A = this chain, B = another copy of it.
Amino acid sequence: MEKPQPEGLSFERVVFFSDAVFAIVITLLVLELKVPHLAEHNESTLRQALFDLLPRVAGFVISFLIIGLMWIEHHRIFRYIADYDSGLLWRNLLVLLCVSFVPFPTALFSENYWSRTAFILYAGSFGAVATAKLLVWRHASKANLLKPDVSPEFDQRIARRSLAVPLACAMAIVLSFVSLWLAPISFIFIPLFARVLDPSRKRNQKIATAKEEAAA
């Protein structure tokens, strides 16, 4: 399972393959919303059944948004990467392994939203994706795979900002020992953490090239 043979694999395809995995996972999440089977056919029974589904719907929406955020971040770091080696390929496969695992803890937690164990697995799986992504960036930086116009400061900023999701997940896990209702609030802090860890980034700015961004 080690020592891949990356010669002859086009970089564009690596990104395309990653995109496809993200898209499939984000779409599979809805399959966990099982249509309720009703004992009797009347509107109030159906409404009650839908109401009982709300925690799962919340799980679906939160997972969708977090995977969406991770897809955005995955792309951002890959735009600054110019080359790759087998180390990068396998670290990226690790990201995709973590991403494709996410539907399981999402389903587990949305079915067992009373369980701290389920929540820890849920938050932990997002932390694992983000940490694997950080490993990709670290490796790209160490192995000289970044584009030449990426400055060391910009490299550091990406690495710091990449800590926002793992931090929020760690906070969520700690908070889950206080209250399971409080813990998911940690995810709302992701953009705040990203701002604090990378204060030089401006809000809602237009897309800058790696050069302009690095020069900024």
Contact = CB atoms under 8 A, between A and B. Distances in A.
Q: Is the interface of A mostly helix, strand, loop or mixed?
A: helix
A26 B21 contact: yes
Interface residues of A, number: 92
A31 B34 CA distance: 12
A86 interface: yes
Contacts of A69: 1, 4
Contacts of A75: 8-10, 13
Contacts of A20: 19-20, 23-24
Nearest to A198: B5
A1 B65 contact: yes
Contact of A50 (B29, B35, B117, B208): B117
Interface in A75-126: 75-77, 79-80, 83-87, 89, 93, 96-97, 100-101, 103-104, 107-108, 111-112, 114-118, 121
Interface of A: 1-11, 13, 15-17, 19-31, 33, 35, 37-38, 41, 43, 46-47, 50, 60-61, 64-66, 68-69, 71-73, 75-77, 79-80, 83-87, 89, 93, 96-97, 100-101, 103-104, 107-108, 111-112, 114-118, 121, 161, 187-188, 190-191, 194-195, 201, 203-210, 213
Given A8-B76, A84-B207, 13 more contacts: A2-B191, A8-B213, A10-B79, A13-B15, A17-B22, A30-B103, A30-B104, A35-B104, A46-B117, A50-B108, A64-B93, A85-B205, A86-B203
